[in-house]
């Protein structure tokens, strides 16, 4: 069972007022650019992951913060969530098509940053 919101494109001429505090697009940008939102989107680009795999791939995130971040990204329709009815339940997360589109510039950003950094010293 997959959960997630399906968003449709805005009609031509109707734009969101992203500088208004009650704009839903602003909320989504806040979720994507939150401290952990970016890392979740980047981590899910290569594979669908279970909760603990995702937690282990993002060093420093607490279970509470990861759960909150995932909940927001699922609600925004960027990430899907699939629950397998086992004991205990196994929950898998992955990027929706929209999430893949949104995460592409983030991947480009990280690629540019890491290409420009000096080589890591062998400490």
Q: Is 33 helix (H, G, I), strand (E, B) or coil?
A: coil
Q: What is the pLDDT along the chain (123 residues), one digit of tens a residue?
A: 565 544 454 455 577 787 888 888 888 888 998 899 999 999 999 999 999 999 999 999 999 999 999 999 999 999 999 999 999 889 999 999 999 999 999 989 988 998 998 887 765
Sign, CA dihedral 97-101-106-110, equals: positive
To the nearest 10°, report the CA torsion of 52, 56, 93, 61.
Answer: 100
Tell me whether residue 10 is exposed, middle or buried, using C-beta atoms within 10 angstroms of its C-beta: 0 to 12, 13 to 18, 19 or more.
exposed
Q: What's the topology of domain 17-111?
A: Arc Repressor Mutant, subunit A (1.10.10)
- Global confidence as pTM: 0.79
């Amino acid at each position: 069972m997959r959960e997630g919101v399906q968003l449709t494109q805005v009609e031509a001429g109707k734009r969101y007022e992203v500088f208004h505090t009650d704009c839903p697009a602003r909320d989504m940008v806040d979720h994507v650019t939150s401290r952990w939102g970016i890392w979740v989107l980047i981590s899910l680009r290569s594979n669908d992951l279970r909760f603990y795999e995702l937690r282990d791939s993002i060093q420093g995130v607490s279970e509470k913060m990861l759960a909150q971040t995932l909940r927001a990204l699922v609600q925004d329709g960027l990430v899907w969530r699939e629950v397998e009815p086992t004991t205990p339940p196994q929950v898998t997360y992955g990027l929706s098509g929209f999430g893949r589109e949104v995460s592409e510039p983030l991947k480009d950003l990280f690629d540019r940053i890491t290409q420009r950094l000096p080589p890591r010293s062998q400490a």
